[in-house]
A and B are shown apart, each in its own frame.
Chain A
Amino acid sequence: MLSAACVEVDPRKRLDVSMAMVFFSGELQRFTGEEKTSVVALNYRELLGELHNKYPDLKNSEITEMAIAIDGEIVHEPLLELIPEAAELHFFHFIAGG
Chain B
Amino acid sequence: MSEAKKFNFIGQRTIRPDGHDKVTGKANYAADLALPGMIWGKILRSPHAHAKILKLDTSKAEAMLGVMSVATFDDLPSVSNEAIQSGEGAIDSLDLGRNVLARDKVLYHGHAIAAIAAKTEAIAEKALELIDVEYEVLTPVLDLHEAMKADAPLLHEDMFTQGYPEQPEKPSNIAARHELKMGDVEAGFAEADVIVERDFVTPTVHQGYIEPHACTVSYNTEGQSMVWCSTQGHFDVRASTAKLLAMPLGNLKVIASEIGGGFGGKTTVYLEPIALILSRKSGRPVKMMMDRDEVFRASGPASAARLTVKVGGKKDGTITAMQTSIAYEAGAFKGSPAMIGGMTAFTPYNCANVYCETFDVVVNKPKVAAYRAPGAPQAEFGAEMAVSELAEKLGIDPVDLRLQNAAKEGTQTVYGPKLKAVGLVECLEAAKNSPHYKTELKEGEGRGIASGFWFNIGGQSSVTINMNPDGTGTIVEGSPDIGGSRASMQMMAAEELGIPLNDLKPIIGDTESIPYNQSTGGSRTTFATGMAVIEAAQDVVQQLKERAASLWNVTPDQVEWRDGSAINTAGEGQMTCAEICAKCEKTGGQISGTGNVNARGAGPSFAVHVCDTKVDMETGKVDVIRYTAIQDAGKAIHPSYVEGQFQGGAAQGIGWALNEEYVYNDDGVMENAGFLDYRIPLASDLPMIDTIIVEVPNNFHPYGVRGVGESGIIPPLAAVGYAVGDAIGANVSELPCSPPRVLKLIQEKG
Residues on A close to B: CB < 8 A? 23, 25-27, 30, 65, 69, 71-77, 88, 90-98
- Tell me whether A75 and B600 are in contact (CB under 8 A): yes
Give the segment of B176-184, B288-296, B572-580 that binds chain A.
Answer: B176-184
Residues of B within 8 Å of A91, CB to CB, are: 416
Q: Which of B149-196 contact A (CB under 8 A)?
A: 163, 165, 178-181
Residues of B within 8 Å of A96, CB to CB, are: 85-89, 267, 370, 374, 457, 521-522
Query: CB-defined interface of B45-60 with A at 8 Å, one 1/0 digit per residue?
Result: 0000000000000000
Given known A75-B600, A92-B343, contact A97–B523 (CB-CB < 8 A): yes
Closest beta carbon of chain B to A1's beta carbon, Å: 34
- Tell me whether B89 and A74 are in contact (CB under 8 A): no
The answer to the question of B339 belonging to the interface, with a C-beta cut-off of 8 Å to chain A, is yes
- Tell me whether B178 and A27 are in contact (CB under 8 A): yes
The answer to the question of B135 belonging to the interface, with a C-beta cut-off of 8 Å to chain A, is no
Residues of B within 8 Å of A72, CB to CB, are: 417-420
Query: CB-defined interface of B414-449 with A at 8 Å, one 1/0 digit per residue?
Result: 011111100000000000000000000000000000
- Tell me whether B89 and A98 are in contact (CB under 8 A): no
A72-B418, A91-B416, A98-B265 given; 9 more Cβ-contact pairs under 8 Å: A23-B416, A26-B179, A65-B90, A75-B600, A88-B418, A96-B457, A97-B373, A98-B521, A98-B522
Residues of A within 8 Å of B163, CB to CB, are: 27
From DSSP, what is the main secondary structure of chain B's interface residues?
loop
- Tell me whether A88 and B374 are in contact (CB under 8 A): no
| In-complex Cβ contact of B180 among A25, A69, A76, A97 (8 A) | A25
Sampled A-B contacts (30; CB under 8 Å): A25-B416, A27-B163, A27-B178, A71-B417, A73-B600, A73-B601, A74-B457, A76-B457, A76-B459, A76-B600, A77-B598, A88-B417, A90-B415, A90-B416, A90-B417, A92-B343, A93-B339, A94-B90, A95-B340, A96-B87, A96-B89, A97-B87, A97-B264, A97-B455, A97-B522, A97-B710, A98-B88, A98-B267, A98-B370, A98-B522
Given known A27-B163, A98-B372, A98-B522, contact A74–B417 (CB-CB < 8 A): yes
Given known A92-B343, A96-B85, A98-B710, contact A69–B417 (CB-CB < 8 A): yes
The answer to the question of B722 belonging to the interface, with a C-beta cut-off of 8 Å to chain A, is no
Closest beta carbon of chain A to B377's beta carbon, Å: 10
- Tell me whether B419 and A98 are in contact (CB under 8 A): no
Among the interface residues A71, A76, A77, which one has the most CB atoms of the partner chain B within 10 A?
A76
Closest beta carbon of chain B to A40's beta carbon, Å: 21
Closest beta carbon of chain A to B159's beta carbon, Å: 17
The answer to the question of B371 belonging to the interface, with a C-beta cut-off of 8 Å to chain A, is yes
**Nearest neighbor of A81 in chain B, beta-carbon distance:** B600
Closest beta carbon of chain A to B518's beta carbon, Å: 9
**Nearest neighbor of B267 in chain A, beta-carbon distance:** A98
With A and B bound together, what is the CA distance between A91 and B688 in angstroms?
42
Residues of A within 8 Å of B458, CB to CB, are: 76
**Nearest neighbor of B265 in chain A, beta-carbon distance:** A98
The answer to the question of B255 belonging to the interface, with a C-beta cut-off of 8 Å to chain A, is no
The answer to the question of B703 belonging to the interface, with a C-beta cut-off of 8 Å to chain A, is no
The answer to the question of B602 belonging to the interface, with a C-beta cut-off of 8 Å to chain A, is yes
The answer to the question of B263 belonging to the interface, with a C-beta cut-off of 8 Å to chain A, is yes
The answer to the question of B524 belonging to the interface, with a C-beta cut-off of 8 Å to chain A, is yes
- Tell me whether A74 and B179 are in contact (CB under 8 A): no
| In-complex Cβ contact of A97 among B178, B265, B339, B374 (8 A) | B374
Query: CB-defined interface of B247-268 with A at 8 Å, one 1/0 digit per residue?
Result: 0000000000000000111010
- Tell me whether A97 and B524 are in contact (CB under 8 A): yes
Residues of A within 8 Å of B180, CB to CB, are: 25-27
Given known A73-B600, A76-B457, A93-B339, contact A98–B373 (CB-CB < 8 A): yes
- Tell me whether B417 and A93 are in contact (CB under 8 A): no
**Nearest neighbor of A69 in chain B, beta-carbon distance:** B417
- Tell me whether A74 and B373 are in contact (CB under 8 A): no
With A and B bound together, what is the CA distance between A98 and B415 in angstroms?
19
With A and B bound together, what is the CA distance between A65 and B598 in angstroms?
17
Closest beta carbon of chain B to A86's beta carbon, Å: 14
Given known A27-B163, A30-B165, A73-B601, contact A95–B420 (CB-CB < 8 A): no
**Nearest neighbor of A76 in chain B, beta-carbon distance:** B459
**Nearest neighbor of B418 in chain A, beta-carbon distance:** A72
Residues of B within 8 Å of A94, CB to CB, are: 89-90
**Nearest neighbor of B524 in chain A, beta-carbon distance:** A97
Residues of B within 8 Å of A88, CB to CB, are: 417-418
Residues of B within 8 Å of A76, CB to CB, are: 457-459, 600
Residues of A within 8 Å of B521, CB to CB, are: 96-98
